[in-house]
Amino acid sequence: MDVTLLGTGSPIPDPNRAGPATLVRAGATTLLVDAGRAVLMRLAGAGVLPPMLSAVLLTHLHSDHLTDLNDVVTTRWVMSPAPNPLTVYGPVGTRQVVEGMMAMLAPDVGYRLAHHDDLTEPPAVEVVEVAPGDELTVGEVRVLVGGTDHRPVEPTVGYRVEHDGATVVLGGDGVPCAGLDALCAGADAYVQTVLRDDMVRMVPMARFHDILDYHSSVEQAAQTAARAGVRVLVLTHYIPGIPPGQEAEWRARAAAHFEGEVVLGDDLTSVSLA
Ligand SMILES: [Zn+2]
Ligand SMILES: [Zn+2]
């Protein structure tokens, strides 16, 4: 199983970091978890084109995590030689978001259907709304859905992906909670979106401080990893973006609470699990 950080950015625009998105490749199954800004550019960088995706999994409906889902849908549709339905898993509310997105795309779909004789059907998107405790089979992988705590954003979920003895947890956004601990228990890798609370506190803007209470700090992510006994902690969605040369400082903050391997870095940083 290979886990690739497609986008390590956050809502803050960054020329070098795409929005939140993570790729999980396991056997013949390819999962896209969240679909933030510029996801298709990073997918291409990882050697994956949209028709190759087995499914999209959304952790929650914050815009930074799905702003380019429409690009995934449209580009998969126009690049597939035959109908190639896309399944989008996500928490309750995903259906409403996808329906609105499809309404936004309606003019474009009309133009392309009228212009291409061999394109006879609109893009097919199947939405499956999930809840904590659900177990899914997607291609060759087993996916467990767990509850996360990103309140007041609700509902939000994390995913535990298992294949051939390897396990990765995609925690999405949120603070430590029992549901996340349970989802992570004994996993090979745990991917968590994080912020640096010390740096966020220095920004003289109240709206920025609001994000402190619903995101894990680097230290909290490391504590979750330690409690759950995971082998590799993967940090992403850096708030603020890690300036060049400061990776070691971020890593040290995690290492103070977690003895395992800590992975962080630029977009397309990848981890191979047995
Ligand atoms: Zn969020
Ligand atoms: Zn986010």
Identify the nearest ligand to the CA of 237 by its number.
2
Q: CB–CB of 150/173 below 8 Å?
A: yes
Q: CB–CB of 207/164 below 8 Å?
A: no
Angle ∠(236,241,247) on CA atoms, nearest 5: 75
Centre of ligand 1 from the C-alpha of residue 64, in Å: 7
Centre of ligand 2 from the C-alpha of residue 65, in Å: 6
Centre of ligand 1 from the C-alpha of residue 114, in Å: 38
Q: CB–CB of 61/29 below 8 Å?
A: no
| Residues recognised as catalytic | 64
Beta bridge partners of 130: 91
Centre of ligand 1 from the C-alpha of residue 187, in Å: 23
Residue range 258-273: mean pLDDT, rounded: 97
Contacting residues for 91 by C-beta, under 8 A, at least 6 apart: 58, 59, 60, 61, 129, 130, 131, 155, 156, 157
Centre of ligand 2 from the C-alpha of residue 72, in Å: 19
Task: Report DSSP state, residue 95.
Answer: H
Q: Is 165 left (phi over 0), alpha (psi -120 to 50) or beta?
A: left
Identify the nearest ligand to the CA of 152 by its number.
1
Convert the pLDDT of each residue in 51-79 to its tens digit: 999 999 999 999 999 999 999 999 999 99
Identify the nearest ligand to the CA of 156 by its number.
1
Quote the pLDDT of residue 213: 80
Q: How confident is the model at residue 205 (pLDDT cuts 50, 70, 90)?
A: confident
Quote the pLDDT of residue 185: 98
Domains in the chain, start-ordered, CATH in brackets? 2-272 (3.60.15.10)
Centre of ligand 2 from the C-alpha of residue 37, in Å: 11
Residue range 36-54: mean pLDDT, rounded: 98
Please name the residue that has the structure tokens 């060759």: 140
Reply yes or no: is the peptide bond before residue 91 cis, omega within 30 of 0. Answer: no
Task: Determine what percent of the chain is predicted with pLDDT higher than 90.
Answer: 93
Quote the pLDDT of residue 59: 98
Q: Is the pLDDT of residue 274 over 80?
A: no
Q: What is the pTM of this model?
A: 0.97
Identify the nearest ligand to the CA of 34 by its number.
2
41 phi/psi in degrees, rounded to 5: -65, -40
